[in-house]
Amino acid sequence: MEPHENTGHPRRWAILGVLVISLLVVVLDNTILNVALRTLADPVHGLGASQGELEWAINSYTLVFAGLLFTFGVLGDRLGRRRFLILGLALFGLASLLSAYAQDPAQLIAARALMGVGGAAIMPVTLSIISNVFDPRERAKAIGVWAGAVGLAVAIGPVLGGALLEHYWWGSVFLINVPVVVLGVVLVAVLVPESRDPSPGRVDLLGVLLSVVGLVALTYGIIDGGEHGFGRPQVWVAIVGGLAVLGWFVAHELRSDHPSLDVRLFRVPRFAAPVALVGLVFFAAMGVMFFGAFYLQLVRGYSPLESGLLFLPFAAAQLIFAPRSAAMVRRYGGRTVAAVGLLLTTIALAAFVFIDADTPIWIFSALGFVQGAGMANIMPPATESIMSALPREKAGVGSAVSNTIRQVAGALGVAVLGSVLSAVYRDQVAPAVAALPAPVRDAARESVSGAYAVADRLGPAAPRLIDAANDSFVSAMHWAAGISALVAALGMVIVLRWMPGRPVVAPDAAPATERELAGTA
């Protein structure tokens, strides 16, 4: 039998390089700001931002980004993916410039929200363009490179941010985006072909509106609960209200004759199982990265730059294994590869339960490498399974669903595991701070960073408080790591029960059929 003709674009690998550049700035910005928070709080060298203003400098980006991902994925399919990518890059570059030269915290928060708009336009179309320029037989390999770039950006954000802050002012962590964006716009305009859904039909205005309102409310509730506790009524009003609106969205999509998302896809195992898997993995992983940064900088005393460097093995594993995952899937099947990846991830997360204040630091980095290797063999087959369930012209929808789940699950992981961390820390440290004066006691009991701030004013009693705070934080970290490992293990059940095995590699790899959508397959 003659080999099938490759239906991919002649410049597809160069296009992939451009998409990776576009993706890097968006994902970097999720992590690079974290290392600049202390500087931004400084009234002399920063903006004198309060704790609440610092939280919103991060959350305004996340909130807008998560709320618009799905909508922009759908609109990119309709209006043109290259057009949306260029528009998103231009907005992201302008907002980065405004962030770098913000004169007060309010300006920074507003500029960060605008960066979220640009990022939401960029992220889903990068993946949908990959689906359109690559032959189905090469798409899995390309998605592996794409996933490796995501992992790399997550890990090098703190390294790059720390290096810039050691030599330049705080605005440099935003200004670095501008030349990359300019280069990206030029390369996209020259290399990336335009593509869109040839038969888009009418715009589902109500569905789009419901998705934005529901996702913003849900994300806000998760973030606010994580920052200030889940015991307040307004947190649950936002979370329950967001879920209710998303439920309305699902009901509307089922009745609509021109839905923005065919929710019947969630009855198809090769779409629904990897979507759930992506959510569980990012819930667990982002929670671990959250407490890992505090562990390295406070308990172990490393600088932001040194802490970022210790996360590099995670990035190295992503770069090494993610591009090779497609070959592993072809040989062993997606179910087997994802199951092994989950096993490695679960082992790495569970091993953090045994990390303490004196553990040799190379063990921390080695566990990061194992976790990175595991995730590198989860995300590409999961993403490929999601994208293959849809026809090429609807690629933006699959990309938007995948990225939205990842973003919301990551925020939920930080919020929930951060709440567990705080609750266990407060319980464990309480006896050690009971004799301190009330205002100081409350600060030391609130967080390990608060305990360090109090210790600076305690004189000879400081070492005792620091030891107690470190021990309490490590104990809390063990609880959070154990929950993360259990969440990852739950993903194993989903993979073994519902994840598809060997992939469909024909050039016309079939999207979900009506029979599958009806739930009878």
229-263 pLDDT, tens per residue? 777 888 899 989 989 998 998 898 888 877 777 77
Residues in contact with 190: Cβ distance below 8 Å, sequence separation at least 6, in sequence order: none
Structure tokens at 324: 């090779």
Please give the DSSP secondary-structure letter assigned to residue 194: P
H helix or E strand, kind and range, residue 134 = none
Tell which wins on pLDDT, 326 or 492: 492
Residue 501 has pLDDT above 90, yes or no: no
Residue 518 has pLDDT above 60, yes or no: no
Residue with tokens 């063999």: 377
Q: How confident is the model at residue 1 (pLDDT cuts 50, 70, 90)?
A: very low
Terminal C-alpha separation, the chain: 30
Q: Residues 72-93: what's their mean pLDDT?
A: 87
* CA-closest candidate to residue 423, choices 282, 291, 296: 291
Phi, psi of 59 (to 5 degrees): -75, -30
* pTM exceeds 0.85: no
The reported pLDDT for the residue numbered 93 is 92
The answer to whether the CB of 185 falls within 8 A of the CB of 223 is: no
Q: How confident is the model at residue 2 (pLDDT cuts 50, 70, 90)?
A: very low
Give the SS3 label for residue 440: helix
Highest mean pLDDT among 60-64, 136-140, 351-355 belongs to: 351-355
The reported pLDDT for the residue numbered 96 is 92
The reported pLDDT for the residue numbered 86 is 92
The answer to whether the CB of 324 falls within 8 A of the CB of 144 is: yes
Ranges 5-9, 228-232, 397-401, 404-408: which has the least confidence: 5-9
Percent of the chain with pLDDT over 70: 89
Residue 13 has pLDDT above 80, yes or no: yes
Q: How confident is the model at residue 71 (pLDDT cuts 50, 70, 90)?
A: confident
Q: How confident is the model at residue 23 (pLDDT cuts 50, 70, 90)?
A: confident
Q: Residues 174-188: what's their mean pLDDT?
A: 89
Q: What is the pLDDT of residues 97-146, one digit of tens each?
A: 999 898 888 898 899 989 989 988 888 888 888 888 888 778 878 888 88
The reported pLDDT for the residue numbered 172 is 86
Q: How confident is the model at residue 30 (pLDDT cuts 50, 70, 90)?
A: low
Rounded Cα distance, 28 and 61, in Å: 12
Residue 198 has pLDDT above 90, yes or no: no
SS (H, E, C) 200-225: CCCCCHHHHHHHHHHHHHHHHHHHHH
Q: What is the pLDDT of residues 315-327, one digit of tens each?
A: 888 888 888 887 8
Q: Residues 386-399: what's their mean pLDDT?
A: 72
Rounded Cα distance, 402 and 69, in Å: 10
Q: Residues 69-87: what's their mean pLDDT?
A: 85
Query: Up-side HSE of residue 47: CA atoms within 13 Å toward CB?
Result: 22
Mean residue pLDDT across the chain: 80
Q: What is the pLDDT of residues 438-452, one digit of tens each?
A: 677 777 777 777 777
Residue 5 has pLDDT above 70, yes or no: no
